[in-house]
Amino acid sequence: MASVTLKGNAVTLSGAELKVGDTAPDFCLQNNALEEITLASSAGKSRIIATIPSLDTSVCHLETKRFNEEAAQLSGVAVLVVSTDLPFGQKRWCGAEGVDKVTCLSDHRAASFGQAYGVLISGGPLDRCLARAIFVVGADNKIKHVEYVSEIASHPNYEAALAAVK
């Protein structure tokens, strides 16, 4: 399991830590239209999957906006941002911020994505939120890059994720 902190305090994550070369676990998440989205929904594409605690926090806000800008330059790549925010809130936030190049997905129902990807926070103030992480998954569903951001309140290494998807 990955070791992460929130403002210097240890955070417990549920699920196994994924590694480069692993097959990405399938998932079933909800998009802003309440439709079910799975890994196969973006079959044939490389994916950047960014997990965040909530769109309504400053770092998550900036991260999602950054990936939205980067997604406009990426051909054949699906950029997915996953949180446990409700789909209604994600839709409101995306509309207000003009975010339309990434797909925001919600793991609010069962937190099964968080468990499968090893990012589900267990206990503390962010209980049942997702830790900040980046997974680059190839069209073959193999993980090409993974970063469990060691400090949840910090930004991920955008350049490493973008380099891995090119």
Q: What is the C-alpha separation between 20 and 73, in angstroms, rounded?
A: 24
Residue 10: how many other CB atoms lie within 10 Å: 9
Q: Of 58, 53, 56, 65, whose CA–CA distance to 97 is shortest?
A: 65
Beta bridge partners of 51: 82, 133
* For helices 87-97 and 58-71, angle between their N-to-C axes, nearest 10 degrees: 70
Contact 32, 104 (CB under 8 A): yes
| 60 tagged catalytic | yes
* For helices 58-71 and 158-165, angle between their N-to-C axes, nearest 10 degrees: 30
| SS3 at position 30 | strand
Q: Which of 60, 94, 104, 129 is catalytic?
A: 60
Catalytic site residues?
60
